[in-house]
Copies of this chain bind each other. A is one copy, B any other.
Amino acid sequence: MVRAEIITIGDEILYGQILDTNTQWISQELDKLGIKTVRKSSVGDAREAIVGIFDETQGRADLVIITGGLGPTKDDLTKKILADYFGSELVLHPQALEDVTEFFKIRGRELTEINRSQAFLPANCTFIRNAQGTAPAMWFDEKGIIWISMPGVPFEMKAIMEKEILPKLAGHFNTPTIVHRVIKTVGIGESYLSVLIEDWENNLPEHIKLAYLPSLGLVKLRLTGFGNDEIQLKKDIAICETSLKKIAGEYIFGYENDELESVVGELLRNKNETISVAESCTGGFLGHKFTSIAGSSDYFVGGVLAYSNEIKCNLLGVESEILKNFGAVSEECIRQMADGVRKMTGSTYGLATSGIAGPGGGTEDKPVGTVWIALSGPNDTITQKLTLGGSRKHNIELSTIACLNLLRKKIQ
């Protein structure tokens, strides 16, 4: 097992001015390669601390991944310290100079002396191209350890890892062939899902492992196959996936990087159907989810934020008698809201929400977290009552996910 340490260099992270999201991402990617992270550390822009942690890694790690401290300012010490630490020196790297010159040229800016300094690299490193920025990454094979130094800007670091580092690591360490498959579910909690698929999980082949990755309202399942033959592993995982679908297929909405709102949008687009929304308790979050997807104007026509009862009546045609007798948070009201917005906009479907997001406004009959949702379609109108009871934010987000899932199940 290859052991990795991840080191973040920079005062901003050490003092908490910014949140470090790099190390989580790196450890996930290493895990997918079968490389085990054994330590994560963060130190400031101080030579003694940086050298100290370099010393500590020896005997503990086979791979050290370092981010940060590669900017052109005098705070950024990593490159110089690495050169000194390995008894090397900074020399001008022709390809790095060409890249940084080109970077500024295509942006119509002049190359200053300080930018030019970014092309000086330790003589003993392998140059790793950074296509997104001006600081190259470096690869060292020293003291029995592979050392990788990358800029800390997340999108630069991720691009370098995906394009250059991860393939090179897989080759260097001759890591086993690993195949992943992420299967995404909605509408069932982690504990219920684990009971439902218990037998299936227990019967997985030895070389295929399962991980549960829950987030608010969703549970991702990740199957990981270890072996030597990629084609065979993919076949093995496909067999597991097929048997999973027989048990839990109704909850599976997508794979890998699919988002619920993009999957639902794609279903609508393929069928040439459209959707409108009538939002009370979600207050715009459902519309936001639809429209966060590029190209959503193909199927999302718009809708109404019906926060006040006047808007529910005047725009959506909810009868005032209904509000008087049952209240806005009722099956009767939500049905008229969904039907109303569909009729008003002429969309194929209309989705509606009305509930008590909290923290105030709850009653004994209708406590905080009581939410009604409805989907009006060409043939019928489906309603559903949710009993959530979390924070305001959670109630809004979970109601939105429930709406998207109601629509998904209808049109799939």
Interface residues in chain A, defined as those with a beta carbon under 8 Å from any beta carbon in chain B: 13-21, 23-28, 31, 36-44, 49, 53, 56, 211, 213, 277, 279, 282-292, 294-297, 300-308, 310-311, 315, 344-346, 357-360, 392-393, 396
Q: Please give the distance in Å from A401's CB to the nearest CB on chain B.
A: 14
Tell whether A345 pairs with B311 under 8 Å between CB atoms, given A16-B25, A284-B284. yes
Complex Cα–Cα for A359 and B53 (A)? 43
Query: Which residue of the partner chain, among B15, B27, B53, contacts A31 with CB atoms under 8 Å?
Result: B15
Q: Is the CB of B213 within 8 A of A310?
A: no
Instruction: Give the chain B neighbours of A28 by CB distance below 8 A.
Output: 15-17
Instruction: Give the chain B neighbours of A286 by CB distance below 8 A.
Output: 284
Q: Is the CB of A304 within 8 A of B307?
A: no
Complex Cα–Cα for A17 and B211 (A)? 10
Q: Is the CB of A49 within 8 A of B41?
A: no
With A15-B27, A291-B305, A297-B308 given, can you name 10 additional A-B contacts, CB distance below 8 Å? A13-B24, A20-B24, A39-B42, A279-B284, A284-B287, A291-B307, A301-B307, A302-B307, A311-B345, A315-B315
Complex Cα–Cα for A157 and B24 (A)? 20
Q: Is the CB of A305 within 8 A of B287?
A: yes
Tell whether A345 pairs with B310 under 8 Å between CB atoms, given A27-B15, A305-B303. yes
Instruction: Give the chain B neighbours of A303 by CB distance below 8 A.
Output: 304-305
Kindly name the residue among A302, A304, A306, A308 whose own CB sees the greatest number of chain B CB atoms within 10 A.
A302
Query: Which residue of the partner chain, among B24, B211, B346, contacts A19 with CB atoms under 8 Å?
Result: B24
Instruction: Give the chain B neighbours of A20 by CB distance below 8 A.
Output: 20, 24
Instruction: Give the chain B neighbours of A295 by CB distance below 8 A.
Output: 360
A284, closest chain B residue (CB) = B287
Main secondary structure of the interface of A (DSSP, over half): mixed
Chain A to chain B: the 9 pairs with minimum beta-carbon distance, closest first:
A283-B291, A284-B287, A284-B284, A16-B27, A16-B28, A302-B307, A284-B288, A40-B42, A302-B305
Count identical subunits in the complex.
Answer: 2
Query: Which residue of the partner chain, among B38, B292, B308, B392, contacts A302 with CB atoms under 8 Å?
Result: B308
Q: Please give the distance in Å from A51's CB to the nearest CB on chain B.
A: 13
Complex Cα–Cα for A14 and B27 (A)? 7
Instruction: Give the chain B neighbours of A360 by CB distance below 8 A.
Output: 294-295
Q: Please give the distance in Å from A35's CB to the nearest CB on chain B.
A: 11
Tell whether A37 pairs with B21 under 8 Å between CB atoms, given A290-B283, A302-B305, A396-B292. no
Query: Which residue of the partner chain, among B291, B301, B307, contacts A311 with CB atoms under 8 Å?
Result: B301
Tell whether A38 pairs with B31 under 8 Å between CB atoms, given A292-B283, A302-B311, A304-B304. no
Complex Cα–Cα for A279 and B304 (A)? 10
Q: Is the CB of B24 within 8 A of A292?
A: no
Instruction: Give the chain B neighbours of A15 by CB distance below 8 A.
Output: 27-28, 31, 36-37
Instruction: Give the chain B neighbours of A292 by CB distance below 8 A.
Output: 283, 392-393, 396
Complex Cα–Cα for A25 and B295 (A)? 38
Show 5 A/B contacts (Cβ-Cβ < 8 Å), sorted by A: A15-B36, A283-B290, A285-B288, A285-B291, A297-B308
Complex Cα–Cα for A202 and B13 (A)? 26
Instruction: Give the chain B neighbours of A296 by CB distance below 8 A.
Output: 283, 307
